[in-house]
């Protein structure tokens, strides 16, 4: 059974998803004149403004754009940035890193479109906003059934399967570093998860707002120390990545095909561009124009892949352990850092994994919550979902997850296909919103959006 699932999974990713991601991402890139590059400086400005507004607590409805960025980044920046990159290098060779960069650059445009659409079609739920692919599929495409299918897939994939994977990785890292009992770790994680998720989106946003900057800065500082220590070999490491990316030089892995497959697959797993997950967080933000959050979420793709994933890749490749050991996943990352800074490396990576993976757990949970609300607003379903999430976090700490990984792969692929079809059909609305935003910005105005700002949009509630 598992073999059949793996065969289907490989076919899904190799022939369908990669083609869709690249074609749609390139189309969006050309139609927006590579918005992900042109507006990069402006993205940082918007993020800074969002952080100030978040600190001033000036929003009475929704959460700040910075908090929404932190929730989506919390989900993006997880075990994939430490364990996933190591797996990609182990199987696909150093060249996989290059293709992770490519999918991030192309995927930035897809992230912009899906997050802008999520903002346009968001709804008001009391003092909060909710939205995401299920909402713009129902409102923009008038197809509630397709929206429900997406909601089921993302709830199972992120809220349950991915969260068990995150807790499993935390357990492995802490067991490796401290020899702690898996059951004890699982109970602690379940308790922490319960405290955060029963506090609603405001508590999730506050937790993410604290965890994400701390974990990113700590990790990048220690990796920067290692890279400065090995500064002389960095140019050769970059050259090694490029040579392997095009099959000019193979050291480990299965050649060019595996380099492309693992780079694209793990890149999407990590930055989630076009997959339909981050728009659920993007929709919760209070902004004056949908494009603002679209741009901020695009920056999240780059933060995840071009910054944090690249840091992990250079850490592993600078140690050369990847080519002389059978270690994979988080153990490879731990061994690579330990070879540079001693046994403290194991402990530091375990702490980073705790911050990275736990932040992902609460971010992933929120995606499921938004989609549970879409399917059925009765509180009993949300309570049952929360209890199941906590149970999966605990179970993930103590059981083997090979089957869960495979199902998560498949479910993520299917939800990505649904989302890509939806945003391909609705993209003219996002393009028109971008034109409206750019016209106001070029006049020196702070862009403001209403549902009458662009043509051909219906069933818009919050603008």
305-358 per-position pLDDT tens digit: 888 888 888 888 877 776 666 666 666 777 777 777 777 766 777 777 777 778
In this predicted structure, the answer to whether residue 55 has a pLDDT above a threshold of 60 is: no
The confidence score (pLDDT) of residue 431 equals 94
Mean pLDDT for the stretch of residues 254-261: 59
Comparing CA positions, the residue from 360, 382, 387 lying closest to residue 200 is 382
Percent of the chain with pLDDT over 90: 18
Please name the residue that has the structure tokens 């605990």: 394
The confidence score (pLDDT) of residue 201 equals 65
Contact 358, 189 (CB under 8 A): yes
Mean pLDDT for the stretch of residues 45-56: 69
In this structure, is residue 301 part of a structural domain? yes
Q: Which alpha helices (H) appear in 272-309, and where do they start and end?
A: 278-282, 290-302
426-459 per-position pLDDT tens digit: 999 999 999 999 999 888 888 888 888 888 788 8
| Per-residue DSSP letter, 83 | I
| Neighbour tally for 270: CB within 10 Å | 27
Which residue would you say has higher pLDDT here, 89 or 82? 89
In this structure, is residue 445 part of a structural domain? no
Consecutive H or E run containing 430: helix 402-442
The confidence score (pLDDT) of residue 209 equals 67
In this structure, is residue 63 part of a structural domain? no
In this structure, is residue 5 part of a structural domain? no
What does pLDDT average to over the chain?
A: 80
Q: In this structure, what CATH number is given to the domain that contains residue 172?
A: 1.20.1740
Q: How confident is the model at residue 253 (pLDDT cuts 50, 70, 90)?
A: very low
Q: Which residues pair with 125 in a beta bridge?
A: 128
Q: In Å, how far from its chain's centre is CA 71?
A: 10
In this structure, is residue 454 part of a structural domain? no
In this predicted structure, the answer to whether residue 233 has a pLDDT above a threshold of 60 is: yes
Residue 255 three-state SS: coil
In this structure, is residue 415 part of a structural domain? yes
Q: How confident is the model at residue 34 (pLDDT cuts 50, 70, 90)?
A: very high
The confidence score (pLDDT) of residue 148 equals 93
Q: Which alpha helices (H) appear in 77-127, and where do they start and end?
A: 79, 85-92, 95-120
186-210 per-position pLDDT tens digit: 888 889 888 888 776 667 767 766 7
- Looking at the 3D structure of the chain, how many domains does it have? 1
CA–CA gap between residue 86 and residue 328 (Å, rounded): 6
CA–CA gap between residue 195 and residue 204 (Å, rounded): 10
Residue 377 three-state SS: coil
User: Which of the given ranges, 119-133, 346-360, 391-405, has the highest pLDDT on average?
Assistant: 119-133
Q: Domain of 358?
A: 10-56+79-438
Model-level pTM?
0.84
The confidence score (pLDDT) of residue 56 equals 53
Mean pLDDT for the stretch of residues 410-429: 90
Q: How confident is the model at residue 141 (pLDDT cuts 50, 70, 90)?
A: very high
The confidence score (pLDDT) of residue 83 equals 67
The confidence score (pLDDT) of residue 72 equals 74
CA–CA gap between residue 80 and residue 64 (Å, rounded): 26
Q: How confident is the model at residue 57 (pLDDT cuts 50, 70, 90)?
A: low
Contact 338, 67 (CB under 8 A): no
144-167 per-position pLDDT tens digit: 999 999 999 999 888 888 888 888
In this structure, is residue 459 part of a structural domain? no
The confidence score (pLDDT) of residue 65 equals 77
Comparing CA positions, the residue from 193, 260, 208, 220 lying closest to residue 71 is 208
Query: At a CB cut-off of 8 Å and minimum separation 6, what does 313 contact?
Result: 85, 89, 94, 97, 100, 241
In this structure, is residue 450 part of a structural domain? no
Question: For residue 119, which phi and psi values (nearest 5 degrees)?
Answer: -70, -45
Query: At a CB cut-off of 8 Å and minimum separation 6, what does 320 contact?
Result: none
Reading phi first (left if > 0) and then psi (alpha if -120 to 50, else beta), residue 376 is in beta
CA–CA gap between residue 275 and residue 433 (Å, rounded): 21
Q: What would the two tokens of residue 64 be?
A: 């700040």
């Amino acid at each position: 059974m598992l073999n059949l699932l793996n065969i289907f999974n490989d076919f899904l990713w190799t022939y369908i998803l990669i083609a869709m991601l690249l074609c749609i991402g390139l189309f969006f890139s050309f139609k927006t004149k590579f918005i992900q590059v042109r507006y990069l400086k402006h993205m940082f400005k918007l993020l800074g403004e969002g952080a100030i507004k978040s600190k001033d607590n000036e929003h009475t409805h929704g959460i700040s754009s910075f908090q929404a960025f932190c929730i989506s980044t919390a989900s993006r920046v997880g075990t994939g940035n430490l364990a996933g990159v190591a797996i990609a290098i182990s199987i696909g060779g150093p060249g996989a890193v290059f293709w992770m960069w490519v999918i991030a650059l192309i995927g930035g445009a897809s992230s912009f479109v899906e997050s802008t659409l999520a903002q346009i079609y968001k709804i008001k739920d009391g003092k909060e906003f909710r939205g995401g692919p299920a909402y713009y599929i129902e409102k923009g495409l008038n197809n509630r059934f397709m929206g429900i299918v997406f909601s089921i897939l993302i709830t199972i994939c992120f809220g349950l399967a991915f969260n068990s994977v995150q807790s499993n990785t935390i357990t492995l890292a802490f067991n490796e570093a401290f020899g702690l009992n898996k059951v004890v770790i699982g109970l602690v994680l379940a308790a922490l998860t319960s405290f955060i998720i029963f506090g609603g989106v405001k508590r999730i946003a506050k937790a993410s707002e604290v965890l994400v900057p701390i974990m990113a800065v700590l990790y990048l500082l220690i990796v920067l120390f290692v890279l400065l220590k090995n500064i002389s070999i960095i140019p050769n490491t970059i050259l090694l990545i490029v040579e392997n990316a095009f099959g000019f030089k193979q050291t480990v892995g299965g050649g060019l095909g595996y380099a492309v497959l693992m780079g694209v697959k793990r890149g999407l797993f990590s930055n989630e561009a076009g997959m339909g997950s981050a728009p659920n967080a993007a929709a919760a933000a209070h902004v004056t124009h949908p494009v603002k959050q679209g741009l901020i979420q695009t920056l999240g793709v780059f933060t995840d892949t071009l910054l944090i994933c690249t840091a992990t890749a250079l850490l592993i490749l600078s140690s050369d352990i990847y080519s002389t050991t059978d270690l994979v996943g988080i153990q490879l990352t731990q061994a690579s850092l330990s070879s540079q800074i001693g046994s403290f490396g194991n402990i530091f990576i375990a702490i980073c994994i705790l911050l990275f993976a736990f932040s992902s757990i609460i971010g992933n949970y929120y995606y499921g919550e938004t989609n549970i609300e879409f399917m059925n607003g009765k509180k009993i379903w949300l309570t049952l979902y929360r209890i199941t999430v906590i149970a999966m976090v605990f179970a993930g700490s103590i059981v083997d997850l090979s089957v869960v990984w495979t199902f998560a792969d498949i479910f993520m692929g299917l939800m990505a296909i649904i989302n890509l079809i939806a945003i391909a059909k609705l993209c003219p609305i996002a393009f028109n919103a971008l034109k409206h935003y750019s016209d106001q910005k070029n006049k020196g105005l702070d862009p403001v959006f209403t549902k009458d700002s662009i043509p051909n949009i219906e069933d818009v509630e919050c603008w």
